[in-house]
């Protein structure tokens, strides 16, 4: 039996599941990837007040605790992070590799043997850890675009209309309208994309500034389509700005174009299809996920990269708990018929 040829016929998901089954059958010891991701040389800060005036305060349940002299609160290495309060830490760490593989909730539940609701909770805590990844300063030439997505009330139990049985039941208007949510997409030429929920309906200069304004400076060169709001915003920031109309021109001076940001748009559309619709309430979470995967796609240690983000982001739980508030802040109308 030629095992190598058989393995080549397997999909990536099947190969990953084979590795997990072999690890279980051979009793391969688990690597505590969360602990290995912690940088012990990094200065320990209080997750409550960000002070570095702390001291050791004993051990609780095998984890070293600290106390802050400034705010008098105690904490451990994982306080405020996505892993805080999680009891099934072994299963949670196994789920890290499934997040990297973009496995759906029900399939992850089946593989790990954990309840679907628990996996759902873990997913959004993890994705909250990636908020810092989705929004890092650009360098050089920057391409940007605004992307419209249908408002999705998936999972909402308080609709003032009958739920749609399928997406095709919804009659949305074509183009930009108030029954769509706008997402600002931008990337530089160094593989540093960002995707941020801007507002309901057409983007304006204020929503552009709110999403990507802090990432672009006067040293950058901006490329975009001829969206009037983007033009007005770039003029207000005094940026060198090159615009394109797809039907007339695709590239200027052999280096100014929007092909990278258009590629990001297309990659996101193909990636998100596996989830059969993403609720607008959780859209920013999935954008964090996609941006992270794009940034680490060439890395050989993707699971460890994810674990590092989980271990260092002490604001993840606050981000997770504010999902409902950020969703309400969008301020869109409940659509009875669209």
Mean pLDDT, consecutive 10-residue stretches, the chain (338 aa), reads: 78 72 56 58 80 88 85 88 86 90 93 93 94 93 93 78 69 68 95 94 93 94 94 95 84 90 95 91 96 93 88 89 87 46
Q: Is residue 214 part of a domain?
A: yes
Q: Is residue 3 part of a domain?
A: no
Residue 276's pLDDT is: 86
Residue 86's pLDDT is: 86
Q: Is residue 52 part of a domain?
A: yes
Q: Are residues 177 and 259 in the same domain?
A: yes
**Residues whose CB is less than 8 angstroms from the CB of residue 108 and which lie 6 or more positions away in sequence, other chains included:** 95, 98, 114, 119
Extended strands (E) in 85-164: 141-150
**Location of structure tokens 């991701």:** 37
Q: Are residues 190 and 229 in the same domain?
A: yes
Q: Are residues 87 and 127 in the same domain?
A: yes
Q: Are residues 148 and 117 in the same domain?
A: no
Q: Is residue 6 part of a domain?
A: no
**Location of structure tokens 């309840």:** 115
**Residues whose CB is less than 8 angstroms from the CB of residue 208 and which lie 6 or more positions away in sequence, other chains included:** 184, 198, 229, 230, 233
Q: Are residues 254 and 332 in the same domain?
A: no
Q: Are residues 125 and 23 in the same domain?
A: yes
- The domain in which residue 169 lies consists of 141-287
The overall longest dimension of the chain from CA atoms, in Å, is 68
Q: Are residues 158 and 281 in the same domain?
A: yes
Q: Is residue 2 part of a domain?
A: no
Pairing mode of beta strands 141-150, 221-225: parallel
Q: Are residues 256 and 232 in the same domain?
A: yes
Residue 175's pLDDT is: 62
Q: Are residues 161 and 201 in the same domain?
A: yes
Contact 128, 319 (CB under 8 A): yes
Q: Are residues 55 and 126 in the same domain?
A: no
| Contacts of range 324-327, beta carbons closer than 8 Å, 24 or more positions apart | 324/281, 326/284, 327/280, 327/281
* Total of domains in the chain: 3
Q: Is residue 4 part of a domain?
A: no
Q: Are residues 104 and 212 in the same domain?
A: no
Residue 10's pLDDT is: 82
Residue 118's pLDDT is: 95
Contact 64, 56 (CB under 8 A): yes
Residue 129's pLDDT is: 93
Q: Are residues 229 and 326 in the same domain?
A: no
As a whole number of angstroms, the distance between CA 79 and CA 230 comes to 40
Q: Which two tokens stand for residue 74?
A: 């105690």
Burial of residue 143 (number of CB atoms within 10 Å: 0-12, 13-18, 19+): buried
Q: What is the pTM of this model?
A: 0.84
**Residues whose CB is less than 8 angstroms from the CB of residue 181 and which lie 6 or more positions away in sequence, other chains included:** 148, 149, 150, 151, 197, 198, 199, 200, 280, 283, 330, 332
Contact 103, 119 (CB under 8 A): no
As a whole number of angstroms, the distance between CA 271 and CA 264 comes to 10
Q: What are phi and psi of 187, to 5 degrees?
A: -155, 150
As a whole number of angstroms, the distance between CA 77 and CA 64 comes to 7
Q: Which two tokens stand for residue 181?
A: 């949510």
């Amino acid at each position: 039996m030629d095992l190598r040829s058989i393995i080549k016929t397997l999909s990536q998901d099947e190969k990953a599941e084979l590795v997990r089954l072999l690890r279980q059958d051979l009793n391969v010891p688990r690597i505590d990837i969360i602990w290995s991701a912690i940088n012990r040389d990094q200065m320990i800060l209080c997750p409550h007040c960000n002070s570095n005036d702390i001291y050791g305060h004993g051990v609780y349940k095998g984890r070293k605790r600290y106390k802050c002299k400034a705010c008098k609160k105690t904490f451990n290495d994982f306080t405020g992070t996505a892993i805080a309060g999680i009891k099934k830490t072994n299963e949670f760490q196994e789920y890290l590799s499934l997040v990297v593989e973009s496995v759906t909730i029900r399939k992850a539940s089946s593989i790990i043997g954990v309840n679907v609701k628990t996996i759902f909770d873990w997913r959004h805590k993890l994705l909250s850890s990636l908020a810092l990844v989705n929004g890092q300063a650009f360098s050089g030439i920057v391409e940007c675009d605004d992307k419209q997505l249908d408002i999705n009330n998936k999972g909402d139990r308080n609709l003032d209309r009958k739920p749609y049985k399928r997406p095709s039941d919804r009659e949305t208007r074509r183009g930009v309208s108030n029954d769509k949510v706008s997402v600002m997409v931008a990337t530089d030429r160094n593989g540093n994309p960002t995707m941020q929920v801007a507002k309901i309906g057409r983007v304006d200069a204020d929503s552009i500034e709110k999403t990507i304004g802090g990432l672009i400076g006067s040293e950058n060169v901006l490329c975009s389509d001829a969206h009037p709001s983007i033009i007005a915003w770039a003029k207000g920031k005094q940026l060198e700005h090159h615009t394109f109309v797809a039907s007339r021109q695709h590239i200027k001076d052999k280096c100014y174009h929007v092909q990278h940001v258009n590629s990001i748009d297309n990659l996101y559309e193909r990636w998100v299809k596996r989830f059969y619709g993403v609720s607008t309430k959780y859209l920013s979470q999935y954008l964090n996920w996609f941006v992270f995967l794009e940034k680490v796609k060439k890395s050989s240690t993707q699971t460890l990269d994810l674990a590092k983000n989980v271990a260092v982001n002490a604001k993840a739980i606050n981000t997770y708990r504010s999902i409902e508030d950020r969703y309400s802040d969008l301020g869109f109308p409940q659509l009875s018929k669209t």
